[in-house]
């Protein structure tokens, strides 16, 4: 009887330790998914970032829109590990085309600076298209020319608030 109690206690301690390790891994920010489920929009605060590799084209059925990441026309961001006078900007060329519109190229920037014609968001066909991310970040070893063809962007597309009085581009 003592042996059975000891074995059961040892088994329960082992299971508790496994569970504690799983919880510690979750606390570090490593995403854990169960049953191959994907996070819902509610879990992501309703922000759905869509990623594109340079030259990639996707038809986004939910927006009735074809989007192509043409490339980066400017990357003046301050390289990591270097002191710069200003932060700089990366400008992505994104071509969008609705099912009943002609293609339009949007210049989306990592910063909002109207006097230099840098805009993080543009309006197209009732949607706001915003640049959320540009990777990789330049380093002192790899400038923007070395990164050509390797860029990846994340954009956010949201329905335009009709009270703003948007225009279709």
pTM of the model: 0.64
- What is residue 102's three-state secondary structure? coil
- Alpha carbon distances (Å) from 78 to 83, 86, 124, 129, 143: 8, 7, 30, 25, 10
Domain ranges for the chain, please list them: 1-33, 49-164
pLDDT reported for residue 2:
65
The list of the chain residues with pLDDT below 70 reads: 1-46, 141-147, 149, 161-169
pLDDT reported for residue 148:
73
What is the per-residue pLDDT across 105-151, written as a single tens digit (0 to 9) for each?
Answer: 999 999 999 988 999 999 999 999 999 999 988 877 665 566 676 89
Please provide residue 48's backbone torsions phi and psi, each rounded to the nearest 5 degrees.
Answer: -115, 100
pLDDT reported for residue 141:
67
| Strand residue runs (E) in the chain | 49-53, 57-60, 65-75, 90-98, 104-109, 121-124, 127-135, 152-159
pLDDT reported for residue 67:
96
Helix segments in the chain, DSSP class H: 2-27, 144-147
Q: What is the distance of C-alpha 89 from the center of its chain?
A: 17
């Amino acid at each position: 009887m003592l042996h059975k109690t000891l074995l059961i206690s040892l088994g329960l301690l082992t299971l508790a330790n496994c569970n504690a390790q799983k919880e510690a891994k979750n606390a570090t920010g490593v995403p854990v998914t169960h049953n191959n489920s994907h996070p819902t929009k509610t879990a992501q605060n309703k922000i759905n970032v869509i990623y594109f590799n340079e030259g990639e084209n996707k038809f986004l059925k939910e927006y009735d829109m074809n989007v192509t990441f043409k490339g980066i026309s400017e990357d003046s961001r301050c390289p990591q590990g270097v002191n710069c006078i200003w932060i700089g900007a990366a400008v992505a060329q994104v071509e969008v085309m609705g099912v009943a519109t002609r293609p339009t190229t949007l210049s989306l920037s990592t910063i909002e600076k109207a006097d230099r014609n840098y805009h993080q968001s543009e309006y197209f066909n009732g949607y706001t298209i915003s640049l959320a991310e540009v990777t990789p970040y330049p380093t002192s070893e790899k400038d923007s020319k070395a990164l050509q063809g390797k860029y990846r962007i994340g954009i956010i597309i949201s329905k335009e608030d009709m009270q703003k009085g948007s225009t279709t581009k």
